[in-house]
Amino acid sequence: MSVLEISNLCAEVDGKAILKGLDLTIEAGEIHAIMGPNGSGKSTLANVLSGKPGYEVTGGSVLFDGQDLLAMEAEERAHAGLFQAFQYPVEIPGVSNMEFLKTALESAAKAHGEEPLSTAAFMKMLRSAAAELDLATDFLKRGVNEGFSGGEKKRNEILQMKLLAPKLALLDETDSGLDIDALAVVGNGVTAFHKEDPTRSVLMITHYQRLLNHIVPDIVHVLADGRIVESGDKSLALALEEKGYAWLNKA
């Protein structure tokens, strides 16, 4: 079954049409990448899917794992297994990473009618996940993203993704602001996340081909003016890198 099925999606921000009839289907286990010029609607797509306030859906439908995604509150989408790694993760001073993740997992357990993990089991899981991402233990005690470097913030997003174990991970320009080493850590984190359970799906939004060297996509899409205008395999990303987006308009 498809994990995500977007049909003719139209959305506005402040009365301005951004998405203009977007179609996209992702099957369970697939890794997709969306590329496209600035202002084409890449981040709008991610935010509409995760339910960020301020975006108005004016048409179309989105099925997530067979459910009507657009009818759900943002936290329900999270509970259903949708995860968004943010381009600019915000800070929450005073709330430790540990506490934040524990609250998130408890909310998910409650929504699924399950018993929450014991504190000991939670800590064990958290420590091992942090170690895989090269995050020190004191990092977990610090406020959420408080005073983190750009790289730490992104690694923290991947840590949250690992623990919440979603069905679909939306990576919104996760590669922006990362140096080469951090990019490798994040790339390996996402690849490991996918390997751990091959039914998990990933939708990467990126400007650059370089992320795709670390996370190899099954399908690459090009988004322009609110629609998918071209889809292909990994070679499409390379062609874009070489020729730029203008080449598509001529084609």
Partner 1 sequence: MANESVHERLNREYSAGFITDIESETLPPGLNEDVVKFISAKKGEPDWLTRWRLEAFEHWQKMPKPDWAHVDFEPVDFQAISYYSAPKSQADGPQSLDEVDPELLRTYEKLGIPLHEQEMLAGVVRGNVAVDAVFDSVSIATTFKEKLHEAGVVFCPISEAVHSHPELVQKYLGSVVPQRDNFYAALNSAVFSDGSFVYIPEGVRCPMELSTYFRINAQNTGQFERTLIVADKGSYVSYLEGCTAPMRDENQLHAAVVELVALDDAEIKYSTVQNWYPGDAEGRGGIYNFVTKRGLCRDRAKISWTQVETGSAITWKYPSVVLRGDDSIGEFYSVALTNNRQQADTGTKMIHMGKRSKSTIVSKGISAGGSQNSYRGLVRVTPTASGARNYTQCDSLLIGDACGAHTFPYIENRNPGATVEHEATTSKVSDDQLFLCAQRGIDAEKAVSMIVNGFCKEVFRELPMEFAVEAGKLLEVSLEGAVG
* Residue 176 near residue 87, CB atoms below 8 Å: yes
Report the residue number, 172 or 230, with the smaller CB distance to partner 1: 172
β pairing state of 2-13 and 56-64? antiparallel
Q: Which of 40, 84, 87, 201 binds partner 1 (CB under 8 A)?
A: 84
Instruction: Using CB under 8 A, pick the residue from 19, 24, 26, 79 that binds partner 1.
Output: 79
Question: CB of residue 246 vs partner 1: minimum separation in angstroms?
Answer: 34
Binding mask 24-63 for partner 1 (x = CB under 8 A): --------------------------xxxx----------
Please say which residue, 160 or 209, places its beta carbon nearer to partner 1: 160
Name the residue nearer to partner 1 (CB basis): 126 or 240. Answer: 126
- Cβ-based nearer residue to partner 1, 36 or 89: 89
Tokens of 191: 């690849």
How far is residue 97's CA from residue 176's CA, in Å, rounded to a whole number? 22
Residue 41 or 166 having the CB closest to partner 1: 166
Tokens for 124, please give them.
């064990």
Q: Return d(Cα 248, Cα 62) in angstroms, integer.
A: 27
Classify 7 in phi/psi space as left (phi over 0), alpha (psi -120 to 50) or beta.
beta
The answer to whether residue 93 forms part of the interface with partner 1 (CB under 8 A) is yes
The piece of 55-63, 75-83, 113-121, 225-233 that touches partner 1 (CB under 8 A) is 75-83
In the chain, what's the furthest Cα-to-Cα distance? 59
Alpha carbon 224 to its chain centroid, in Å, reads 20
Distant-in-sequence, close-in-space partners of 187: CB < 8 Å, separation ≥ 6 = 211, 213, 214, 215
What is the rounded distance in angstroms from the CA atom of residue 215 to the CA atom of residue 196?
14
Cα 233 from Cα 221, distance rounded (Å): 9
Options 61, 107, 188, 191; binder of partner 1; rule CB under 8 A: 107
Tell me, by CB under 8 A, how many residues bind partner 1. Answer: 32
Q: What's the closest the beta carbon of residue 83 comes to partner 1, in angstroms?
A: 8
Enumerate binding residues for partner 1 (CB under 8 A). 50-53, 73-75, 77-79, 83-84, 86, 89-96, 99-100, 103-104, 107-108, 111, 143-144, 160, 164
